[in-house]
Amino acid sequence: MRVPAKVNLYLGVGAPRPDGFHPLDTVYQAIGLYDDVTAGPADDWRVDVRTSDHVAAEALPPAGDNIVDRAARLLAAHHGVDVRGELRVDKDIPVAAGLAGGSADAAGALVALDRLWQLETPDDDLLRLAGELGSDVPFALVGGSAHGTGRGELVHRVPDEGGWWWVVVPFREGLSTPDVYRRFDQLHPDAPVVPTGPLAVLGALQDGDVRALARALHNDLQAAALDLRPELADVIAAGEEAGGLRGMVSGSGPTVVLLCGSGDEARQVAGTLAPSYDTVLIAPAPVAGAHLVVRA
């Protein structure tokens, strides 16, 4: 299964709920940066995680404690079957980056194991299990562009007429999502119970209007991420200086994403930034959610 990273075009965050999670009003977009999850038969349970050059392998959770292990146990328990198989995860999505790479792997594991174990889990059940694994996991199944509510796990596809281009600047040292939410609470003790809504973003997507989308991009977690990592503000400024229409922190960060006017403009921005940063990637959007890749 090939599973995409995400950016939040809009991320409205409210005051924490009694369960500690924050209510979200968000618009996700799946971008062309992927992990591959492959399942094969085995008598026991094995996970093999491999990382590409720009993924910090040291930031991965220890063996047995990966979100794909949890995905396997949850799916198996749901159907009353044994956890058996060999799961290989080839990671190209940076870790602890605000790009939902772990969520993508969990979504890929659910679908790959559903096929391996011939379970034919209905979509609604798969989405519910995904939501139990993490707030961003259902979106990784759905892909495209989608409105997310609840703690992010309730997703509905939205019309998106655009073909968008992002420059993505990840950093080896990740940010912890709970830390960023904690800082958000400190910075916004008066956050509304219901977060504000993303109407301007939804309109720009429907119109395929890149300049309107650039104006409407919004991330309530950005101030918290910048407070923890002030140098990210310089990356945003450098990207906009280089010709990006608008730069922002992706989700809880620290990845900076820059919306560009075209593929050519994205290549130009990436070329200008490349000498100053370890990794600068280009990603088209929107792309499909978890999908099967047939290899020749």
Asked whether 87 and 68 are in contact (CB, 8 A), the reply is yes
Tell me whether residue 100 is annotated as binding: yes
Active-site annotation holder among 25, 105, 114, 136:
136
Asked whether 86 and 46 are in contact (CB, 8 A), the reply is yes
Q: How many residues bind ligand C5P (CB under 6 A)?
A: 11
Site string for ligand C5P, 89-108 (x = CB under 6 A): --------------------
Closest approach of Cβ 20 to ligand C5P, in Å?
Answer: 6
Query: Which one of 121, 135, 145, 219 is in contact with ligand C5P (CB under 6 A)?
Result: 135
Query: Residue 123 burial (CB < 10 Å; 0-12/13-18/19+)?
Result: exposed
Please tell me whether residue 134 binds ligand C5P under the rule CB under 6 A.
Answer: yes
DSSP letter for 95, please.
T
Rounded to the nearest 10 degrees, how much is the dihedral formed by the CA atoms of 22, 95, 126, 218? 40
* Distance between CA atoms of residues 166 and 214, nearest Å: 11
Please tell me whether residue 250 binds ligand C5P under the rule CB under 6 A.
Answer: no
Please tell me whether residue 21 binds ligand C5P under the rule CB under 6 A.
Answer: yes
Please identify, among the stretches 39-47, 106-114, 128-136, 253-261, the one whose residues bind ligand C5P according to the rule CB under 6 A: 128-136
**In the complex with ligand C5P, which residue's Cβ is closer, 10 or 165?**
10
Query: Which one of 40, 159, 163, 178 is in contact with ligand C5P (CB under 6 A)?
Result: 178
Please identify, among the stretches 85-93, 112-120, 173-181, 186-194, the one whose residues bind ligand C5P according to the rule CB under 6 A: 173-181
Query: Which one of 1, 3, 11, 24 is in contact with ligand C5P (CB under 6 A)?
Result: 24
* Distance between CA atoms of residues 227 and 220, nearest Å: 12
* Distance between CA atoms of residues 254 and 7, nearest Å: 12
Query: Residue 57 burial (CB < 10 Å; 0-12/13-18/19+)?
Result: exposed
Please tell me whether residue 136 binds ligand C5P under the rule CB under 6 A.
Answer: yes
Please identify, among the stretches 35-43, 160-168, 174-182, 282-290, the one whose residues bind ligand C5P according to the rule CB under 6 A: 174-182
Residue 128 — φ and ψ, nearest 5°? -70, -45
Q: Which two tokens stand for residue 137?
A: 């996991």
Query: 286 preceded by cis ω (within 30°)?
Result: yes
Say whether 6 is catalytic.
yes
Kindly state the helix (H) or strand (E) to which residue 126 belongs, with its residue range. Answer: helix 123-133
Closest approach of Cβ 275 to ligand C5P, in Å?
Answer: 34
Query: Which residues touch 29 (CB under 8 Å, ≥6 apart)?
Result: 6, 7, 8, 9, 144, 145, 160, 164, 285, 286
Query: Which residues in 179-218 contact ligand C5P (CB under 6 A)?
Result: 181
Q: Which two tokens stand for residue 276?
A: 């100053």
Query: Which one of 51, 177, 250, 255 is in contact with ligand C5P (CB under 6 A)?
Result: 177
Please tell me whether residue 151 binds ligand C5P under the rule CB under 6 A.
Answer: yes
Tell me whether residue 94 is annotated as binding: yes
In Å, how far are 88, 117, 123, 171 from 120, measured between CA atoms?
A: 21, 9, 9, 38
Please identify, among the stretches 49-57, 176-184, 241-249, 272-280, the one whose residues bind ligand C5P according to the rule CB under 6 A: 176-184
Asked whether 169 and 273 are in contact (CB, 8 A), the reply is yes
Binding site, annotated residues for ATP: 94-104
Residues contributing to the site for ligand C5P (CB under 6 A): 21-22, 24, 134-136, 151-152, 177-178, 181
Binding site, annotated residues: 94-104
Catalytic residue ranges: 6, 136
